[in-house]
């Protein structure tokens, strides 16, 4: 049994989008306080766990917020948690441009006042063969795409991360070509599983997890889920993406979770869930095969990886 798109639970009533936009004092302090301050996450997990199968359980808030890939703050898994305290995620705007009828720059709060925030539990699978189960809050990317009214010639969507080396110390080093870029095919972007996440565990998105808004594409490896997005471009050709540009022999454009295609330096056949010791078999499309396999029925998945 998989976590199906049709089984997504509605976001808890008391966390309506107005409250979500404004946040609480605790949420505003999220980047600087320790995770032990949020010891009450266990008090109402039912809104997140009701559709989990017996093989999945939520990762703890501490695990989710202290073990991260976010090279803008450093290459070690602990660096984002330790180095992101000076990052300022408010105010925030997102520029929409390219092949659209309505190119514009949206204030994030305006976006959030016009979309439906939902609770979604998704697996996150990283190419280094580790994974988590995370309770996200966000909205379908398709809602924002519809606001932009793409032209029929728009076949791809490119995303760009903010560039603030004074606040993001990892950007002071040439680990990759900054700013970070990612992309999806239009049909991938419009899939109802694809969301723009603005929080997790009922809190606004922590800095180390991609504040204030990030992409979540649950059937792809984690590096596709670009963080701290400031620009979304609509294109008629496949866009350049950061890891594919840096190491095309290791990272393809699609980055679908496929246990049958190994990374050149390690196997993708098994994974280790953070918090567990025993490895588990990796599921095709990260367990979302039923919802997304049709998108790739005409592709050779060993070539288009």
Q: Average pLDDT for residues 115-143, to the nearest whole number?
A: 96
Q: How many helices (H) and strands (E) does the chain have?
A: 10, 12
pLDDT for res 4: 41
H helix runs in 23-140, sequence order = 25-28, 46-49, 61-66, 79-83, 108-112
Helices (H), the chain: 17-22, 25-28, 46-49, 61-66, 79-83, 108-112, 141-148, 186-190, 242-246, 289-292
What is the tens place of the pLDDT at every residue in 67-122? 999 999 999 999 999 999 999 999 999 999 999 999 999 999 999 999 999 999 99
Q: Is the pLDDT of residue 28 over 60?
A: no
Percent of the chain residues past pLDDT 90, beyond the cut: 79
Please tell me the least confidently modeled range out of 25-34, 135-144, 242-251: 25-34
In this model, does residue 16 exceed pLDDT 90? no
Q: Which of 12-21, 28-37, 105-114 has the highest mean pLDDT?
A: 105-114
Average pLDDT over residues 249-265: 94
- pLDDT of 226 above 80: yes
| Confidence bin at 201 (pLDDT 50/70/90) | very high
- Tokens at residue 15, please? 């966390």
Q: Give the pLDDT of residue 41.
A: 53
Using one digit for the tens of pLDDT, what is the confidence trace for 180-199? 999 999 999 999 999 999 99
Q: Is the peptide bond before 212 cis (omega within 30 degrees of 0)?
A: yes
Q: Is the pLDDT of residue 133 over 70?
A: yes
Round to whole Å and give the CA distance between 125 and 44.
25
Q: Encode burial over 58-81: b for 16+ CB neighbours within 10 A, e otherwise.
A: bbbbbbbbbbbbbbbbbeebebbb
On the question of pLDDT at 34 being above 50, the answer is: no
Tens-place pLDDT, residues 156-168: 999 999 999 999 9
Pure H helices in 15-101: 17-22, 25-28, 46-49, 61-66, 79-83
- The owner of tokens 């029925």 is 297
Architecture of the structural domain at 5-280+291-296 = Alpha-Beta Complex (3.90)
Is the dihedral angle over the CA atoms 111, 207, 27, 198 positive or is it negative?
Answer: positive
Q: 291 in helix, strand or coil? A: helix
């Amino acid at each position: 049994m998989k976590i199906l798109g049709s089984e997504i639970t509605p976001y808890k009533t008391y966390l309506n989008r107005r409250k979500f936009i404004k946040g609480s004092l605790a949420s505003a302090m999220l980047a600087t306080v320790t995770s032990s301050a949020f010891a009450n996450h266990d008090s109402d997990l039912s809104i997140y766990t009701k559709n989990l199968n017996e093989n999945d359980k939520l990762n703890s808030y501490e695990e989710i917020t202290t073990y991260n890939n976010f090279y803008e703050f450093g290459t070690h898994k602990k660096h984002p948690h330790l180095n992101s305290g000076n990052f300022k995620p408010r105010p925030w705007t997102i520029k929409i441009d390219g092949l659209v009828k309505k190119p514009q720059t949206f204030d994030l709060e305006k976006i959030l006042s016009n979309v439906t925030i939902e609770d979604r539990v998704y697996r996150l699978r990283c190419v280094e063969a580790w994974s988590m189960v995370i309770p996200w809050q966000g909205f379908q990317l398709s809602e924002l795409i519809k606001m932009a009214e793409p032209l029929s010639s728009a076949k791809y969507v490119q995303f760009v991360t903010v560039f603030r080396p004074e606040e993001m110390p990892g950007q002071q080093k040439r680990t990759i070509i900054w700013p970070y870029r990612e992309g999806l095919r239009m049909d991938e972007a419009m899939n109802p599983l694809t969301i723009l996440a603005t929080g997790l565990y009922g809190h606004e998105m922590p800095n180390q997890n991609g504040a204030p808004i990030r992409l979540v594409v649950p059937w792809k490896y984690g590096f596709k889920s670009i963080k701290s997005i400031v620009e979304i471009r609509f294109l008629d050709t496949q866009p350049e993406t950061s890891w594919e540009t840096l190491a095309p022999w290791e990272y393809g454009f699609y980055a679908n979770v496929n246990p049958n295609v190994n990374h050149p330096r390690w196997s993708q056949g098994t994974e280790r869930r953070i918090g567990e010791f025993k490895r588990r078999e990796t599921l095709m499309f990260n367990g979302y095969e039923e919802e997304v396999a049709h998108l790739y029925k005409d592709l050779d998945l060993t070539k288009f990886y």
